[in-house]
Structure 1
């Protein structure tokens, strides 16, 4: 039975993720897709439970009147059928409704609903542009993803479960009290008005505080993750005390929202207790007065006073449920700010997979500007740049920092969309092919190659998950990593290829991380290869050993390499010298030296073969 209800909602829907709406109701409905029929069923069950409980109070009043009016020897004969029906409702119908409600809520919705939201939101975020993740703490994004999923579930379930239960119960109580005598309903109406006024005044304030609290909590978590992720830098600069102060600022910002929340909670509790005792006293007083003048029977008092006592106990629960509802609404609003953002780079509606060819790359009159602070004028990074790279040609990009070399690579990978011109691979416009197929055809080794916190095997095979052990071993040999990998181990006792490398590969040295990254790209075997300071983290001996392997890796591929150390790319087929977003020189190393231009000056002014910013001043 449990398993049947657990399988009613698919926690991992296969549909392609789309951008969620930016308004609260539509956002909640968007992520409630697939769970709405079960939320509706939960609302129906809650309504039936509330109506049944109110009916039981009414039957209790009637039973007390019958007890006072019917002789004892005829009581069972006259009231037996009514009592049997009440027993059936109390012992069978109400438990069955509660059972169904529990199964729908706990087996159907509690686990699957937020997991479904996490899955859809995570898939959408994975397809966000690189710039999205550069502008925000990774921990903050993760925190918002997790807490928004739970908040959407709580909003949807509280509205359908608690909301319908409360409305039906209040209406039933008013109808039942008015059915005894209309004057008995007046204290209930006054209480509902006062209670509604409290909700109207306090709950939105709690919601706004909750939104600020969710933002402060995400910021606090982001600071913790940022400190832990960069713990080596913290240690190297002896800034533990400074990190404590920075963290304390983040924690205190969160604590201040808690103080504000608890002040409102105290005001809410005091006001609620006041109107509750006023309800009990007024209902009791009005009921006794009506009975004393003969306008109602004792059964009416037996109905009204327990109802008032029941509302007294329920009101605290209802108030906290509504407070929690608006707190979760605040959390959802905070999540919308991060999750409901359009993708800067999107596949064209008719995008097709890139057809792999020999690897001809063309930049035709490409112009690109980075979008900075809102209102600031964007600065041109590439201006009407044209560059053609023939299949199998090895090209080196040269220039000081900010010349546009990395931007050129990022545009080829389509991390950003260009403003003018066209970029093609084998004649196919990269703006008209799918991003996944584009990047699958390009192998990249960057200056700071980060690894996944998984096994060495998983990291090496990331570009080709179906790779055999022999292929993985061959890639490791190519990257000169075959000696140190068997010696690796982790805290779980895993060794060699099974050892986990830590977050971003922190358990490995820079040179070891770089070799694993090179092995990963070698196994991917893409027709286009990009080397962005690929050997910068290696010592001279290791670099010399790997350089020969890189020659093997580059064989038959179109290669674009960036290096500040000009000696590492001097042997390329062609060198492209960039300055301020333009190509100012190009040719072979010897030809450029003979020309005596910018490249020759850079070469002459290198310090130890490394191009510094001072050298190009």
Structure 2
């Protein structure tokens, strides 16, 4: 039975690949309409539960009147059928309906809807551009993905539960009171008007303050995670107190927002409690007075006093439910600000996979400035023939890494185009583009998973023999068997820590090189591929890199000019332009920028007037 209800909602249903709505109402509808049959069933069952609950109070009044109006010896004979019906409702109908309600909510909705929303939001966000993640805290993004789903599901369930309780309890109470005597319904109607007015005043303010509180909580989470993620920097610069203050500022803001929220909650609670006191006293006093005038029965007194006490308890519950609904809506609104943002880099409609035959790359009059005025790359033209190996050098800020970023389409060009074997990369599927390019970056980071999992990122279907061969070629076979993590996993099963912090820089770089060796893509980008290796280690894998580059189109960026001096052609960049091109020997003979950079790295004298121009390389 549990499994059947748990299968009603598929948590991993493929989402529609589009931006979630940016308005709160449409955001709710976007996800709830996917599971509307389950919510409709919960709404119907909730209606039944509310009717049963109200009928129990009606039974109390009926029993009092039946007991007063019939002789003791004839009581069961006269009212037996009615009593059996009351017993059926209390012993069978009520448990069945409540159990069905719990199965729908706890087995179908709570785990599956919550995680479907998380899954679909994660699927959308993970396809955002690189700039999206660079402009926010990773911890805050993750926090909003996690808390938005729970808040949406909880408030939706609360709305379903609250609708019938409010409608059935108050509606039935007014009808039953009026049936006994119209005057008996007056206190309840007055209370209802005052109750609605109270909620109308407090609820919008609750939503606003909840949103502010959620925003402050997300900021606090982001700062805490940022500190943990950069714990080495924090310790190296001995700024523990500075980091504490940075988090304390965010925590102080979060406390301020929370206090504003709790003040409102306390004021609302006090107001509702006062109104409830007037309802209980007014209804009970009026019922007793009407009984003293012979206008209502004793059963009506039992019914009215019992029901208003239940309404008193329910009104407090409804207050917290509505407060919770709008508090959760504020959390959802906070999440929407992160989740529902358009992707700046998207596949075009009908984008086809990239097909690489020769691996030729052509940059045609490209322009890119990261959205800033001037700078980076303006009007650059470069052709790399299939199988050609070029080295890219130049001062910091020359645009070398930007050239790689736009080739990988981590950002869209502002002008011009990039062609691979005649295909505009803006017109092909991003995944297929990056699948055809192997990259070893300067800042190598690994996933907090096993060595094997990190290697298989290069080729998930690789055999064990292929993995071992790639490790051998990258000269990583010496240290991997010696690795043991904190949970006793060793060798290829050892976990490397967040971003690979348990490995040295050289070890991380060798794993990254092995991963690209395993990928075996036709186009290869080496962005400081050996920067983390000492001279002996660099020399040890140089032969493997040359094997890796054989038959591939290679674009290599390096600080150490000696590592790219043997390339087919060198391209020298400065201020977003290509200022020199040629072989190592040709550029040395020319005596230009490259020659001065080479002289500096090989220990030659650099004139003072050249120092500013030839700043450190990126």
Tell me if both proteins adopt one fold, taking TM over 0.5 as the criterion.
Answer: yes
Matched, 1:465 2:460: yes
Between stretches 317-326 and 438-447, larger displacement belongs to 317-326
Q: Does the 8 Å CA contact 1:129/1:416 hold for their aligned counterparts?
A: yes
Equivalence for 1:200: 200
Equivalence for 2:57: 57
Q: Does the 8 Å CA contact 1:566/1:609 hold for their aligned counterparts?
A: no
Of 484, 493, 497, 1:489 maps to 484
CA distance in 1, matches of 2:368, 2:241: 42
Equivalence for 1:565: 560
CA drift of 1:76 comes to 2.0
Q: Does the 8 Å CA contact 1:442/1:529 hold for their aligned counterparts?
A: yes
Q: Does the 8 Å CA contact 1:565/1:610 hold for their aligned counterparts?
A: no
Of 372, 387, 390, 1:395 maps to 390
Equivalence for 1:408: 403
Q: Does the 8 Å CA contact 1:139/1:222 hold for their aligned counterparts?
A: yes
SS of structure 2 residue aligned to 1:110: helix
Equivalence for 1:527: 522
Q: RMSD of aligned C-alpha atoms?
A: 1.8
Q: Does the 8 Å CA contact 2:154/2:328 hold for their aligned counterparts?
A: yes
Question: What does residue range 295-334 of structure 1 map to in structure 2 within 5 Å?
Answer: 295-334=295-334
Of 445, 449, 467, 2:440 maps to 445
Equivalence for 2:508: 513
Q: Deviations over 1:51-77 (max 9, x none)?
A: 222222223223322222223333222
Query: Hey, which bits of structure 1, 4+ residues long, moved more than 6 A?
Result: 609-613
- Taking structure 2 as the reference length, the TM-score comes to 0.96
Question: What does residue range 210-359 of structure 1 map to in structure 2 within 5 Å?
Answer: 210-359=210-359
CA drift of 1:489 comes to 0.5
- Taking structure 1 as the reference length, the TM-score comes to 0.96
CA drift of 1:396 comes to 1.1
Equivalence for 1:136: 136
CA distance in 2, matches of 1:613, 1:122: 48
Matched, 1:21 2:16: no
Q: Does the 8 Å CA contact 1:5/1:104 hold for their aligned counterparts?
A: yes
SS of structure 1 residue aligned to 2:525: strand
CA distance in 1, matches of 2:26, 2:212: 21
CA distance in 2, matches of 1:209, 1:14: 34
Pick closer, same or farther for the CA change 1:205–1:307 going to 2, 3 Å. same
CA distance in 1, matches of 2:362, 2:389: 14
Q: Does the 8 Å CA contact 2:599/2:605 hold for their aligned counterparts?
A: no
Pick closer, same or farther for the CA change 1:613–1:564 going to 2, 3 Å. farther
SS of structure 1 residue aligned to 2:369: strand
Q: Does the 8 Å CA contact 2:391/2:557 hold for their aligned counterparts?
A: yes
SS of structure 2 residue aligned to 1:463: coil
CA distance in 2, matches of 1:363, 1:571: 23
Equivalence for 1:478: 473
Of 358, 366, 381, 2:376 maps to 381
CA drift of 1:7 comes to 0.8
Equivalence for 1:375: none
CA drift of 1:299 comes to 1.7
Q: Does the 8 Å CA contact 1:400/1:613 hold for their aligned counterparts?
A: no
Question: What does residue range 63-212 of structure 1 map to in structure 2 within 5 Å?
Answer: 63-212=63-212
CA distance in 1, matches of 2:504, 2:387: 32
CA drift of 1:121 comes to 0.8
Between stretches 338-347 and 15-24, larger displacement belongs to 15-24
Pick closer, same or farther for the CA change 1:609–1:72 going to 2, 3 Å. farther
Q: Does the 8 Å CA contact 2:169/2:311 hold for their aligned counterparts?
A: no
Between stretches 488-497 and 587-596, larger displacement belongs to 587-596
CA distance in 1, matches of 2:264, 2:515: 56
Matched, 1:45 2:66: no
Q: Does the 8 Å CA contact 1:174/1:185 hold for their aligned counterparts?
A: yes
SS of structure 2 residue aligned to 1:586: strand
CA drift of 1:607 comes to 7.2
Equivalence for 2:422: 427
Q: Does the 8 Å CA contact 2:407/2:418 hold for their aligned counterparts?
A: yes
CA distance in 2, matches of 1:33, 1:306: 39
In structure 1, the gaps of 5 or more residues are 373-377
Question: What does residue range 582-593 of structure 1 map to in structure 2 within 5 Å?
Answer: 582-593=577-588
Between stretches 227-236 and 496-505, larger displacement belongs to 227-236
CA drift of 1:522 comes to 0.5
Pick closer, same or farther for the CA change 1:615–1:368 going to 2, 3 Å. closer
Pick closer, same or farther for the CA change 1:553–1:33 going to 2, 3 Å. farther
Number of matched pairs? 612
SS of structure 2 residue aligned to 1:379: coil
SS of structure 2 residue aligned to 1:167: helix
